[in-house]
């Protein structure tokens, strides 16, 4: 992941794509911040690819919230900039699963965990997060998991 992001950064420099370069630098800064905090916890190797995926997913979510706030405030120019940053960040995230694929993943996780009630929701969400980081919007998946568990 790091190499892919760094290659994109170099290409953006060559192309003189200011906005893209700015977003890629923000991604690198977030990764370096994670590296520093992980070294403080004793993980000298720094952020793994999974950690980087979590960072990118968090960055997308932050920008979506900012864009919504800007739109509500009538600042469409700022909202558009946030959407452009989201496009750049999403290039490095795996493909988002369709709703039917999410339901299938939830059903698989429920059977893998052996869930029988709503008390098992944490186990299911943990299983989904370990396997589908960056591919599922967990804010939307949570209610879907709860609904499936209520059907058991």
Domain locations in the chain as residue ranges = 2-90, 99-150
**H or E segment to which residue 75 belongs:** none
Do the domains at 2-90 and 99-150 have one common CATH topology?
A: no
19-34 pLDDT, tens digit per residue, is 999 999 999 999 999 9
> What CATH architecture does domain 99-150 belong to?
Orthogonal Bundle (1.10)
> What CATH architecture does domain 2-90 belong to?
Orthogonal Bundle (1.10)
69-107 pLDDT, tens digit per residue, is 999 999 999 999 999 999 999 999 888 889 999 999 999
pTM of the model: 0.75
Secondary structure tally for the chain: helices H, strands E: 7, 0
99-124 pLDDT, tens digit per residue, is 999 999 999 999 998 888 889 899 99
Cβ neighbourhood burial of 140 (10 Å; 0-12, 13-18, 19+): exposed
């Amino acid at each position: 992941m790091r190499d892919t992001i760094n290659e994109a950064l170099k290409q953006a420099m060559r192309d003189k794509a200011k906005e893209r370069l700015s977003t890629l630098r923000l991604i690198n800064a977030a990764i370096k911040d994670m590296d520093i905090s992980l070294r403080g916890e004793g993980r000298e190797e720094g952020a793994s690819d999974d950690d980087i995926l979590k960072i990118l997913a968090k960055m997308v979510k932050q920008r979506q919230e900012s864009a919504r706030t800007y739109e509500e405030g009538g600042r469409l120019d700022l909202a558009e900039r946030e959407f452009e940053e989201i496009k750049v960040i999403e290039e490095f995230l795996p493909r988002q699963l369709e709703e039917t694929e999410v339901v299938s993943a939830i059903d698989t996780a429920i059977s893998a965990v052996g869930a029988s009630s709503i008390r098992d929701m944490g186990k299911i969400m943990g299983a989904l997060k370990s396997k589908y980081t960056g591919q599922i919007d967990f804010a939307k998946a949570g209610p879907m998991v709860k609904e499936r568990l209520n059907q058991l």
